[in-house]
């Protein structure tokens, strides 16, 4: 068999799988999204209807806050871990990256254990302050949950980027008289900017599309994935759910495309 035929054969299983279980279904989704009583207007509903707009706003705000907080936390810890070695270093890194494989549901459960009715923090505040703080099922709980699954991903990326930093740039800055904070501000942070953009975009996209965590915590804070879910399963508003999904998908894809143009390999959007 000729080389070209062989290469063509290599593509065949891929073509079948992707066409049948991705391309065609996605096309169907887009069409269904436009098939509801509002037709194509359903796609604009996400911005026009005040209910949905509020949900969109919540989701974006939450994702943005998560991304910002995660970047700060990951940079401090990532820089520290990459630059210092001590006994137990490997263990610490493992602890920080271990939650990478947790599905959103498990993350939700972790938050419940921390801050739920029988949670650790509740017990702690009871001992210290006399009243029990339970916040797992509120916005703070949700935020903590989002942090929980974002930190491991971003820390790995930041650590990899720190490893690739050219130490001679920092050394030069120091010979020119820059103190440690100046070095961080003027040399390290600018050099890490591509990594920030790449991993920040991934964290943002993941947070936007996160479902399991919000599902488990069952807060009354509505995020877009939950809205889609309830519209589909409870209200049987299929067309609307489809339209919202496509909208969410487009936004997430656009952000990840931006991340890739800054040269990052993306880790899964899951959670």
Partner 1 sequence: MRDRLIFAAQFAFTLLVAAFLIVPAVLSMLAGVTLNYFRGIQSGLTLQWVVQVWELYSETIFRSFLIAITTLAVTLIVGIPAAYALHLRSDRLSRAIEEVITLPLAIPGLALALALLLSYGGFSDFRRSWLFILAGHSVFTLPFMVRSVMAMFGAIDVKTLDEGAASLGAPPWRRFRDVIVPNAAPGILAGSLMVVTLSLGEFNLTWMLHTPLTKTLPVGLADSYASMRLEVASAYTLVFFVMIIPLLVAMQTFARYRGNPAALPR
Determine if 101 is a binding residue for partner 1 (CB under 8 A): yes
Q: Cβ of residue 54: shortest distance to partner 1, in angstroms?
A: 19
Determine if 207 is a binding residue for partner 1 (CB under 8 A): no
Q: Quick one: which segment of 37-45, 166-174, 188-196, 243-251 binds partner 1 (CB under 8 A)?
A: 243-251
Q: Report the residue from 39, 180, 190, 263 that binds partner 1 according to the rule CB under 8 A.
A: 180
Could you identify the residue written with the tokens 């943002």?
204
Indicate if the alpha-carbon torsion angle 20, 23, 26, 28 is positive or negative: negative
Determine if 102 is a binding residue for partner 1 (CB under 8 A): yes
Write the burial class of residue 13 (CB in 10 Å: 0-12 exposed, 13-18 middle, 19+ buried): exposed
Determine if 126 is a binding residue for partner 1 (CB under 8 A): no
Could you identify the residue written with the tokens 């493992």?
94
Q: Which long-range contacts (CB under 8 A, 24 or more apart) does 31-35 make?
A: 32/238, 32/239, 32/242, 33/239, 33/242, 33/243, 33/244, 33/245, 33/246, 34/239, 34/243, 35/239
Scanning residues 149 to 178, which ones bind partner 1 (CB under 8 A)? 151-152
Q: Cβ of residue 99: shortest distance to partner 1, in angstroms?
A: 5
Determine if 215 is a binding residue for partner 1 (CB under 8 A): yes
CA 208 and chain centroid, separation: 7
Scanning residues 42 to 81, which ones bind partner 1 (CB under 8 A)? 73, 76-77, 79-81
Q: Cβ of residue 190: shortest distance to partner 1, in angstroms?
A: 20
Q: Cβ of residue 83: shortest distance to partner 1, in angstroms?
A: 9
């Amino acid at each position: 068999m000729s080389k070209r035929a062989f290469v063509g054969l290599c593509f065949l299983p891929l073509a079948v799988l992707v066409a049948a279980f991705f391309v065609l279904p996605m096309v169907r989704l887009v069409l269904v999204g436009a098939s509801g009583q509002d037709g194509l207007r359903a796609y604009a509903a996400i911005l026009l209807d005040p209910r949905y707009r509020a949900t969109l706003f919540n989701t974006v705000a939450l994702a943005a806050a998560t991304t910002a907080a995660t970047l700060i936390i990951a940079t401090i810890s990532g820089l520290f871990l990459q630059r210092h070695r001590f006994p137990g270093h490997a263990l610490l890194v493992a602890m920080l990256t271990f939650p990478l494989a947790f599905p959103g549901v498990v993350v939700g459960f972790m938050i419940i254990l921390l801050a739920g009715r029988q949670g650790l923090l509740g017990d702690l505040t009871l001992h210290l302050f006399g009243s029990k703080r339970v916040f797992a099922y509120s916005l703070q709980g949700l935020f903590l949950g989002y942090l929980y699954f974002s930190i491991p991903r971003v820390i790995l990326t930041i650590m990899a980027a720190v490893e690739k930093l050219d130490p001679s740039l920092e050394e030069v800055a120091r010979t020119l008289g820059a103190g440690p904070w100046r070095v961080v501000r003027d040399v390290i942070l600018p050099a890490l900017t591509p990594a920030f953009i790449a991993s920040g975009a991934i964290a943002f996209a993941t947070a936007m599309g996160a479902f399991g965590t919000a599902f488990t915590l069952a807060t009354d804070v509505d995020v877009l994935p939950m809205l889609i879910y309830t519209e589909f399963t409870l209200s049987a508003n299929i067309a609307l759910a489809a339209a919202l999904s496509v909208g969410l998908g487009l936004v997430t894809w656009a952000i990840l495309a931006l991340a890739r143009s800054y040269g990052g390999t993306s880790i899964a959007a899951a959670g």
